[in-house]
Protein backbone atom coordinates (compact mmCIF):
# COMPACT_ATOMS: atom_id res chain seq x y z
CA UNK A 1 0.00 0.00 0.00
CA UNK A 2 1.23 3.47 -0.85
CA UNK A 3 1.12 5.78 2.15
CA UNK A 4 2.14 9.17 0.78
CA UNK A 5 -1.04 10.68 -0.64
CA UNK A 6 -2.50 12.10 2.55
CA UNK A 7 0.80 13.67 3.54
CA UNK A 8 1.26 15.12 0.05
CA UNK A 9 -2.10 16.84 0.38
CA UNK A 10 -1.25 18.07 3.89
CA UNK A 11 1.97 19.55 2.54
CA UNK A 12 0.10 21.31 -0.25
CA UNK A 13 -2.44 22.66 2.26
CA UNK A 14 0.43 24.16 4.23
CA UNK A 15 2.12 25.69 1.20
CA UNK A 16 -0.79 26.99 -0.89
CA UNK A 17 -3.44 29.56 -0.05
CA UNK A 18 -6.23 27.64 -1.76
CA UNK A 19 -6.62 24.28 -3.51
CA UNK A 20 -9.33 23.44 -6.04
CA UNK A 21 -10.80 19.95 -6.40
CA UNK A 22 -12.61 19.34 -9.67
CA UNK A 23 -15.59 17.00 -9.46
CA UNK A 24 -15.26 14.00 -11.78
CA UNK A 25 -17.62 11.12 -12.43
CA UNK A 26 -15.42 8.39 -13.90
CA UNK A 27 -11.87 7.60 -14.94
CA UNK A 28 -12.06 9.35 -18.30
CA UNK A 29 -13.45 12.59 -16.90
CA UNK A 30 -10.68 12.44 -14.27
CA UNK A 31 -8.13 12.09 -17.08
CA UNK A 32 -9.37 15.27 -18.74
CA UNK A 33 -9.68 17.33 -15.56
CA UNK A 34 -6.19 16.22 -14.51
CA UNK A 35 -4.71 18.01 -17.53
CA UNK A 36 -5.67 21.33 -15.94
CA UNK A 37 -5.93 20.83 -12.16
CA UNK A 38 -3.92 18.81 -9.65
CA UNK A 39 -6.89 18.31 -7.30
CA UNK A 40 -9.74 15.94 -8.18
CA UNK A 41 -12.98 15.30 -6.32
CA UNK A 42 -14.88 12.05 -6.70
CA UNK A 43 -18.29 13.63 -6.36
CA UNK A 44 -21.17 11.61 -4.95
CA UNK A 45 -23.69 13.49 -7.08
CA UNK A 46 -21.67 12.95 -10.26
CA UNK A 47 -20.80 9.33 -9.51
CA UNK A 48 -24.40 8.38 -8.68
CA UNK A 49 -25.51 9.93 -11.97
CA UNK A 50 -22.79 8.29 -14.05
CA UNK A 51 -22.52 4.85 -12.46
CA UNK A 52 -26.16 4.23 -11.57
CA UNK A 53 -28.09 6.83 -13.54
CA UNK A 54 -29.78 7.80 -10.28
CA UNK A 55 -30.04 10.91 -8.10
CA UNK A 56 -27.75 11.51 -5.13
CA UNK A 57 -30.04 10.14 -2.44
CA UNK A 58 -28.03 7.26 -1.01
CA UNK A 59 -27.76 4.60 -3.72
CA UNK A 60 -23.96 4.48 -3.80
CA UNK A 61 -22.42 1.25 -2.49
CA UNK A 62 -19.00 1.62 -0.93
CA UNK A 63 -17.27 -1.11 -3.03
CA UNK A 64 -18.13 0.91 -6.14
CA UNK A 65 -16.50 4.04 -4.72
CA UNK A 66 -13.40 2.11 -3.66
CA UNK A 67 -13.20 0.67 -7.18
CA UNK A 68 -13.30 4.02 -8.94
CA UNK A 69 -10.64 5.42 -6.58
CA UNK A 70 -8.38 2.48 -7.47
CA UNK A 71 -8.88 3.02 -11.19
CA UNK A 72 -8.28 6.77 -11.05
CA UNK A 73 -5.23 6.41 -8.82
CA UNK A 74 -3.73 3.86 -11.22
CA UNK A 75 -3.66 6.35 -14.09
CA UNK A 76 -3.04 9.51 -12.01
CA UNK A 77 -0.33 8.65 -9.49
CA UNK A 78 0.53 12.20 -8.42
CA UNK A 79 -2.78 14.07 -8.15
CA UNK A 80 -4.67 14.88 -4.98
CA UNK A 81 -7.85 12.78 -4.87
CA UNK A 82 -10.61 13.87 -2.49
CA UNK A 83 -13.47 11.39 -2.10
CA UNK A 84 -17.09 12.08 -1.17
CA UNK A 85 -17.87 9.35 1.37
CA UNK A 86 -21.48 10.47 1.95
CA UNK A 87 -22.48 9.45 5.50
CA UNK A 88 -19.86 6.70 5.69
CA UNK A 89 -22.29 4.16 4.16
CA UNK A 90 -23.59 2.94 7.50
CA UNK A 91 -22.68 2.88 11.15
CA UNK A 92 -19.36 3.83 12.71
CA UNK A 93 -17.75 0.45 12.09
CA UNK A 94 -18.68 0.45 8.41
CA UNK A 95 -17.42 4.04 8.04
CA UNK A 96 -14.08 3.15 9.64
CA UNK A 97 -13.73 0.08 7.41
CA UNK A 98 -14.42 2.07 4.24
CA UNK A 99 -12.01 4.79 5.36
CA UNK A 100 -9.18 2.29 5.61
CA UNK A 101 -10.05 0.81 2.21
CA UNK A 102 -10.19 4.20 0.51
CA UNK A 103 -6.79 5.10 1.93
CA UNK A 104 -5.39 1.79 0.68
CA UNK A 105 -6.93 2.48 -2.74
CA UNK A 106 -5.04 5.77 -2.99
CA UNK A 107 -7.37 8.48 -1.72
CA UNK A 108 -5.71 11.64 -0.44
CA UNK A 109 -8.71 12.72 1.61
CA UNK A 110 -12.35 11.98 2.34
CA UNK A 111 -15.43 14.02 3.16
CA UNK A 112 -18.00 12.56 5.56
CA UNK A 113 -21.31 14.25 6.34
CA UNK A 114 -23.58 14.27 9.39
CA UNK A 115 -26.79 13.37 7.55
CA UNK A 116 -28.91 10.38 8.40
CA UNK A 117 -30.79 8.31 5.87
CA UNK A 118 -32.59 8.85 3.63
CA UNK A 119 -29.84 11.30 2.67
CA UNK A 120 -30.00 14.10 0.10
CA UNK A 121 -27.66 16.24 -1.96
CA UNK A 122 -26.45 19.04 0.27
CA UNK A 123 -28.02 21.70 -1.93
CA UNK A 124 -31.55 20.27 -1.72
CA UNK A 125 -34.03 20.53 1.12
CA UNK A 126 -35.43 17.73 3.22
CA UNK A 127 -32.15 16.73 4.85
CA UNK A 128 -32.15 15.08 8.26
CA UNK A 129 -29.18 15.18 10.62
CA UNK A 130 -27.74 12.63 12.98
CA UNK A 131 -27.65 13.75 16.60
CA UNK A 132 -24.28 15.43 17.10
CA UNK A 133 -23.02 12.90 19.66
CA UNK A 134 -23.89 10.03 17.33
CA UNK A 135 -22.02 11.59 14.44
CA UNK A 136 -19.01 12.32 16.66
CA UNK A 137 -18.73 8.63 17.49
CA UNK A 138 -18.60 7.87 13.77
CA UNK A 139 -16.12 10.68 13.11
CA UNK A 140 -13.81 9.52 15.90
CA UNK A 141 -13.83 5.95 14.55
CA UNK A 142 -12.97 7.26 11.08
CA UNK A 143 -10.13 9.39 12.45
CA UNK A 144 -8.83 6.38 14.32
CA UNK A 145 -8.95 4.18 11.22
CA UNK A 146 -6.87 6.43 8.94
CA UNK A 147 -3.09 6.58 8.85
CA UNK A 148 -2.48 9.94 7.18
CA UNK A 149 -5.66 10.46 5.14
CA UNK A 150 -7.06 14.00 5.31
CA UNK A 151 -10.53 13.86 6.88
CA UNK A 152 -13.01 16.63 6.10
CA UNK A 153 -16.05 16.63 8.40
CA UNK A 154 -19.14 18.05 6.72
CA UNK A 155 -22.28 19.40 8.31
CA UNK A 156 -25.56 19.82 6.45
CA UNK A 157 -27.16 21.86 9.22
CA UNK A 158 -29.28 24.72 7.91
CA UNK A 159 -29.47 26.74 11.14
CA UNK A 160 -26.36 28.88 11.53
CA UNK A 161 -25.97 28.34 15.28
CA UNK A 162 -26.28 24.61 14.78
CA UNK A 163 -23.73 24.79 11.95
CA UNK A 164 -21.26 26.60 14.14
CA UNK A 165 -21.76 24.28 17.09
CA UNK A 166 -21.25 21.22 14.91
CA UNK A 167 -18.21 22.70 13.15
CA UNK A 168 -16.55 23.46 16.47
CA UNK A 169 -17.34 19.96 17.73
CA UNK A 170 -15.81 18.45 14.57
CA UNK A 171 -12.71 20.57 15.12
CA UNK A 172 -12.44 19.44 18.73
CA UNK A 173 -12.75 15.80 17.63
CA UNK A 174 -9.71 16.21 15.38
CA UNK A 175 -11.12 16.67 11.88
CA UNK A 176 -8.51 18.08 9.52
CA UNK A 177 -10.93 20.43 7.75
CA UNK A 178 -14.55 21.54 7.98
CA UNK A 179 -17.22 21.81 5.29
CA UNK A 180 -20.62 23.37 5.88
CA UNK A 181 -22.64 22.59 2.77
CA UNK A 182 -25.38 24.61 1.13
CA UNK A 183 -24.32 27.99 2.56
CA UNK A 184 -26.54 30.76 1.27
CA UNK A 185 -24.12 33.69 1.37
CA UNK A 186 -20.53 34.76 1.85
CA UNK A 187 -21.52 36.45 5.12
CA UNK A 188 -22.52 33.08 6.55
CA UNK A 189 -19.26 31.62 5.26
CA UNK A 190 -17.17 34.41 6.82
CA UNK A 191 -18.79 33.85 10.20
CA UNK A 192 -17.86 30.19 9.98
CA UNK A 193 -14.23 30.78 8.98
CA UNK A 194 -13.85 33.36 11.76
CA UNK A 195 -14.91 30.81 14.39
CA UNK A 196 -13.21 27.64 13.14
CA UNK A 197 -9.46 27.13 13.51
CA UNK A 198 -9.17 24.45 10.87
CA UNK A 199 -9.04 24.76 7.07
CA UNK A 200 -12.52 25.40 5.70
CA UNK A 201 -13.81 23.85 2.49
CA UNK A 202 -16.47 25.42 0.28
CA UNK A 203 -18.60 23.42 -2.14
CA UNK A 204 -19.61 24.98 -5.46
CA UNK A 205 -22.32 23.45 -7.63
CA UNK A 206 -24.05 25.13 -10.57
CA UNK A 207 -27.65 25.87 -9.62
CA UNK A 208 -27.05 25.08 -5.96
CA UNK A 209 -27.87 27.13 -2.88
CA UNK A 210 -24.48 28.81 -2.60
CA UNK A 211 -23.52 31.84 -4.68
CA UNK A 212 -20.90 31.31 -7.42
CA UNK A 213 -17.58 32.75 -6.27
CA UNK A 214 -14.11 33.03 -7.72
CA UNK A 215 -11.03 31.92 -5.83
CA UNK A 216 -10.05 35.45 -4.84
CA UNK A 217 -13.43 35.98 -3.16
CA UNK A 218 -13.19 32.67 -1.36
CA UNK A 219 -9.63 33.29 -0.17
CA UNK A 220 -10.75 36.66 1.19
CA UNK A 221 -13.56 34.85 3.03
CA UNK A 222 -11.07 32.51 4.70
CA UNK A 223 -11.55 29.42 2.52
CA UNK A 224 -8.57 27.21 1.68
CA UNK A 225 -10.20 24.19 -0.01
CA UNK A 226 -12.79 24.41 -2.81
CA UNK A 227 -14.87 21.60 -4.28
CA UNK A 228 -16.44 21.96 -7.72
CA UNK A 229 -18.90 19.09 -7.57
CA UNK A 230 -20.36 18.80 -11.04
CA UNK A 231 -18.59 20.74 -13.84
CA UNK A 232 -17.53 17.61 -15.74
CA UNK A 233 -20.91 15.92 -15.44
CA UNK A 234 -22.88 18.98 -16.52
CA UNK A 235 -20.48 19.69 -19.39
CA UNK A 236 -20.80 16.09 -20.56
CA UNK A 237 -24.59 16.27 -20.42
CA UNK A 238 -24.66 19.42 -22.53
CA UNK A 239 -22.10 18.14 -25.03
CA UNK A 240 -23.74 14.73 -25.47
CA UNK A 241 -27.20 16.22 -25.92
CA UNK A 242 -25.85 18.70 -28.49
CA UNK A 243 -23.97 15.98 -30.36
CA UNK A 244 -26.97 13.67 -30.51
CA UNK A 245 -29.20 16.47 -31.77
CA UNK A 246 -26.72 17.35 -34.54
CA UNK A 247 -26.39 13.69 -35.53
CA UNK A 248 -30.17 13.36 -35.75
CA UNK A 249 -30.53 16.60 -37.74
CA UNK A 250 -27.78 15.58 -40.19
CA UNK A 251 -29.58 12.40 -41.13
CA UNK A 252 -26.96 10.27 -39.39
CA UNK A 253 -23.85 11.79 -41.01
CA UNK A 254 -20.92 12.43 -38.68
CA UNK A 255 -19.33 15.88 -38.79
CA UNK A 256 -16.31 16.33 -41.02
CA UNK A 257 -12.87 16.13 -39.45
CA UNK A 258 -12.62 19.92 -39.42
CA UNK A 259 -15.97 20.28 -37.64
CA UNK A 260 -15.23 17.69 -34.99
CA UNK A 261 -13.15 19.08 -32.07
CA UNK A 262 -12.33 15.58 -30.78
CA UNK A 263 -11.51 12.79 -33.18
CA UNK A 264 -9.97 9.34 -32.86
CA UNK A 265 -6.43 10.67 -32.48
CA UNK A 266 -7.27 13.23 -29.79
CA UNK A 267 -9.11 10.69 -27.65
CA UNK A 268 -6.42 8.06 -28.12
CA UNK A 269 -3.74 10.52 -27.02
CA UNK A 270 -5.47 10.97 -23.65
CA UNK A 271 -5.62 7.21 -23.19
CA UNK A 272 -1.99 6.75 -24.19
CA UNK A 273 -0.89 9.30 -21.60
CA UNK A 274 -2.87 7.40 -18.95
CA UNK A 275 -1.22 4.14 -19.99
CA UNK A 276 2.26 5.68 -19.89
CA UNK A 277 1.75 7.07 -16.39
CA UNK A 278 1.06 3.58 -15.05
CA UNK A 279 4.77 2.82 -15.47
CA UNK A 280 6.20 6.05 -14.13
CA UNK A 281 7.70 6.20 -10.62
CA UNK A 282 5.21 7.26 -7.95
CA UNK A 283 6.41 10.12 -5.75
CA UNK A 284 3.13 10.96 -3.99
CA UNK A 285 3.94 14.61 -4.61
CA UNK A 286 1.59 17.07 -6.27
CA UNK A 287 2.03 17.76 -9.95
CA UNK A 288 3.43 21.16 -10.84
CA UNK A 289 1.48 23.84 -9.03
CA UNK A 290 1.13 25.78 -12.27
CA UNK A 291 -1.24 23.05 -13.48
CA UNK A 292 -3.79 24.17 -10.91
CA UNK A 293 -3.85 27.78 -12.03
Residue 142 confidence (pLDDT) above 70: yes
Question: Contact at 8 Å (CB) between 116 and 130?
Answer: yes
Residue 286's pLDDT band (cuts 50, 70, 90): very low
Architecture category of domain 5-292 in CATH? Alpha-Beta Barrel (3.20)
Q: What is the average per-residue pLDDT within 18-27?
A: 97
Residue 291's pLDDT band (cuts 50, 70, 90): very low
* Alpha carbon distance 65, 83 (integer Å): 8
Q: Which residue has the higher pLDDT, 123 or 142?
A: 142
Q: Which of 39-43, 99-103, 266-270, 279-283 has the lowest mean pLDDT?
A: 279-283
For residue 270, which of 6, 107, 3, 36 has the smallest C-alpha distance? 36
Residue 258 confidence (pLDDT) above 80: no
Q: What is the average per-residue pLDDT within 236-240?
A: 95
Q: What is the average per-residue pLDDT within 182-201?
A: 94
> What is the model's pLDDT at position 149?
98
Q: What is the average per-residue pLDDT within 138-145?
A: 98
Question: Contact at 8 Å (CB) between 225 and 19?
Answer: yes
Q: How does pLDDT run across 37-65, given as a tens digit for each residue?
A: 999 999 999 999 999 999 988 899 999 99
Q: What is the average per-residue pLDDT within 70-86?
A: 96
Q: Which of 46-60, 186-200, 270-284 has the lowest mean pLDDT?
A: 270-284
Q: Is 145 exposed, middle or buried (0-12, 13-18, 19+ CB in 10 A)?
A: buried
Q: What is the average per-residue pLDDT within 194-216?
A: 91
Residue 230's pLDDT band (cuts 50, 70, 90): very high
Task: Look up the pTM and report it.
Answer: 0.90
Hey, where are the domains in the chain?
Answer: 5-292
Average pLDDT value for the chain: 90
> What is the model's pLDDT at position 1?
42
Amino acid sequence: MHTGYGNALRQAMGERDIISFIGVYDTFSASLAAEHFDGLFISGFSFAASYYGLPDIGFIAWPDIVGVVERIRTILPEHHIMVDMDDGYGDAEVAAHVTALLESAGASGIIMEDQKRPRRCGHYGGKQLLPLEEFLVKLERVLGARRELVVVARTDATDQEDRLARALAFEAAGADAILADGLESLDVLRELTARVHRPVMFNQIAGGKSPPCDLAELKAAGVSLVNYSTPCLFAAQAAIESSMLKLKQSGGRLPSAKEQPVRLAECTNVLKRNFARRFEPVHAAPVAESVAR
